[in-house]
Amino acid sequence: MGLGGPARVPDTARRPLADAPVSSSPQSSPGVLYVVATPIGNLGDLSPRAREVLGAVDLIAAEDTRHTRQLLQHCGLNTALTSMHEHTDARKVGELVERLAGGESLALVSDAGTPLISDPGFALVAAARAAGIPVVAVPGPCAAVAAVSVAGLPTDRFAFEGFLPAKAAARRARLQELKAEPRTLVFYEAPHRLAEALVDMAAAFGAARRASVSRELTKRFETTYTDTLGALAERAGQDSDMSRGEIVVVVEGESPETQRTVGGDAERMLRILLEELPPAQAAKLTARLTGARRGELYERAVEWARK
């Protein structure tokens, strides 16, 4: 990717870079914990500052050391690595904080994107903060922010929801809690659960809500699909390409406008389904996809059938 040869070790990496705040400590100066974002698929997105810090710190705490070793090799770096994943125990966190307190500098990275964003690192950052260690952000890629930036949905306020529960009942319960959320919602989703998650979202929020599905951001097959939840759910059930790779779903929040359109959309969907299905089945499916009341839909379907 042409990121250059071996890095010089800048003395800037031993202190907070770029005027970052330094908290005062009663003991001799502690090191710095750098929270470093790494690419989410395109190595060209590693910032020069991230590369500089990764080359200069005493130790890198990585989610998967083999994965990060490859990134370092790509950059011509050979910094020492230690693992820091979601099962890392308090003792290891304590040891790292001791090293920081003793004056060593550490970088925290995850496999991709920004550490702590649906990724490990919270325990270390919280412990470092509690110990008065300076914690400095080296910001960069984050799939959630990238997806929001291209979705074409309101960005003035958005809520990051991370991964929904894997089990259907828990996922539906969580979506019900979010039904009236006015902010744009951002979800990470596993490819094999995309289709069912979109069906559940359409049922909870109404099929007419606008949404986007971004897959493989920054990579060769990057695609963003934008449509209503109903249409996206339907497409995900038919188009296997849509659920290939890594995925972020962005859904517009509830507003008087999204509430109003649900009735019309449910009606339209019911009419289409009635062309192929008996009233009970069409009403059941429409209710699932739009969140409209099944009984009312059935009554309407029977009424239409009589005409």
Choice between 55 and 113, CB closer to ligand SAM: 113
Nearest to 56 by CA among 102, 99, 17, 11: 11
Q: How far is the CB of 189 from ligand SAM (least distance, A)?
A: 6
What is the C-alpha to C-alpha distance for residues 233 and 23, in angstroms, rounded to an integer? 49
Beta strand pairing call for 184-189 and 210-215: unpaired
Choice between 217 and 266, CB closer to ligand SAM: 217
Kindly tell me the sign of the dihedral angle through the C-alpha atoms of 122, 127, 132, 135. Answer: negative
Residues facing residue 186 across a β-bridge: 160, 250
Q: How far is the CB of 257 from ligand SAM (least distance, A)?
A: 28
Q: How far is the CB of 28 from ligand SAM (least distance, A)?
A: 34
Choice between 125 and 277, CB closer to ligand SAM: 125
Beta carbons of 63 and 120 less than 8 angstroms apart: yes
Select the residue whose beta carbon is closest to ligand SAM and give its number.
113
Helices (runs of H) and strands (runs of E) counted in the chain: 11, 10
Q: How far is the CB of 212 from ligand SAM (least distance, A)?
A: 11
Choice between 70 and 78, CB closer to ligand SAM: 70
Beta carbons of 77 and 6 less than 8 angstroms apart: yes
Q: How far is the CB of 237 from ligand SAM (least distance, A)?
A: 19
Residues facing residue 138 across a β-bridge: 36
Q: How far is the CB of 164 from ligand SAM (least distance, A)?
A: 11
- Report the interface residues with ligand SAM, using CB under 6 A: 40-41, 110, 112-114, 117-119, 142-144, 188-189, 214-219, 246-248
Choice between 219 and 294, CB closer to ligand SAM: 219
Q: What DSSP state is assigned to residue 155?
A: -
What is the C-alpha to C-alpha distance for residues 64 and 111, in angstroms, rounded to an integer? 6
Choice between 114 and 286, CB closer to ligand SAM: 114
The amino acid that residue 163 corresponds to is F
